Amino acid sequence: MFSKQVKVFLGMCAGLFILLTGVLQMSDMDSEVRAAGEKGVPASSAQGWRLLDPISYENLTVFPVVTSQDADTSEFATLDDALASGDAIVTEQGNYMRRTREGLQGEPRSIGSAQVNQLALVNRGKRPLILLAGEVVSGGKQDRIIGKDRIVPMGAAPLPLNVFCVERGRWTASSDNFAAAKMMAHPSVREKAAVDQDQGRVWAAVRGQDSLASNLEVHPGAAAAAAPPVISTRDTEAVIASVAPTESYRQIYQSRAVSSSVESFAEQIERRFNRATSGLKGERVVGVVVAFGGEVAWSDAFASSELFEAYWPKLLRSYVVEALTWHASRENPSLEDAREFLRPATGHFREETEPGVYRWRESTAGRVAQIELEALAPKPMTLHWLKVATR
């Protein structure tokens, strides 16, 4: 009997010891997370990311996200490259023609009639195709943006592709197939597509109305003291009236009146960014955390530096457009602010999966939405990580 009591007592002691050890380990881990963002400490222990010091110009600040764990993503193709090489075809539904290695064969193959919010996509290449919400494709009956992050496997049947219109005033074919505009819609528009999934709000954001109105609502006290936007709603309306009567996103933001401001601004950020990241040893840039004025509001990060470099030119210009449409001060956010934003979001959770191809996850909590695109083959990896402070 005594021996049995001793065994019970020793078992309880062992259990308490294990519990205490776990608590201490969690405490140590929490200290690491609190310190994240400091020099040499990962900003997110899960991804192994580290934040560099902020790079600022006017009211735009970017924090480079770096890692020593650079994945191999060479087995994936981007939409811009696939459209340019002919490995991908994007067209209006009902307008796809079956093609073979020998050329065009057969009658037009219909997968439905033309619709505003759906196109047809065929991946004819030898690599899975990455699509990111907000990428602009031009042509067809009206220009569109990709509605959601996803992966299209090679050799798949013609895919009904969810999109949003960014050219409200046209419904006549300018070409059979779509071309890559090599543009990413700016965050206010991307958010309305990727998070809100609302065509009306996408149209409003293209004109600048939705983003500016929301900005003023979020910052009622600071708006009066903040500098007015370089690209105002009035400017956008003037461009629409003169050179973009169909309200084409591409024509508005590539117009001379707008693009000159965008390019000169982007050059300033790009020069500072290259200088700040050129001396990295054993680490590569895989993403950025972005702030407008004093508010950290956006982040794009990738599995590899190769993917980041492919998307960076059009991502940068999308951030610049956003900065130019904001009532925002030149107040600079801290490294701590950016580190907090980089923490994984928790809250309401949604998931969509195409078995053996990809998994799409969305987490929302309050004003924060986080979206992850995970490739399931050839091996699981998070190809794109997006986080946004919704407005």
Q: Which of 190, 195, 188 is nearest to 229 (CA)?
A: 188
Dist. CA 63–CA 287, nearest whole Å? 8
pTM: 0.81
- What pLDDT was estimated at residue 5? 52
Dist. CA 165–CA 95, nearest whole Å? 18
The per-residue pLDDT for range 150-175, each reduced to its tens digit, is: 999 998 888 999 999 999 999 888 88
The per-residue pLDDT for range 92-134, each reduced to its tens digit, is: 987 765 443 334 343 334 455 778 999 999 999 999 999 999 9
- Strand-strand pairing, 358-365 and 348-354: antiparallel
Residue type, 257: A
- What pLDDT was estimated at residue 28? 36
Dist. CA 31–CA 25, nearest whole Å? 10
Chain-wide mean pLDDT for the chain?
A: 82
- What pLDDT was estimated at residue 209? 62
DSSP 333: P
> Which residues of the chain fall short of a pLDDT of 50?
1-2, 4, 6-9, 16-46, 98-110, 212-224
**Residue 264 neighbours by CB under 8 Å, 6+ apart:** none
φ, ψ of residue 268 in degrees (nearest 5): -65, -45
Helix (H) or strand (E) holding 300: strand 295-302
Give the three-class secondary structure for 100. Answer: strand
CB atoms within 10 A of CB 160: 14
The domains of the chain are located at: 50-389
280 and 66 in contact (C-beta within 8 Å)? yes
Dist. CA 82–CA 129, nearest whole Å? 8
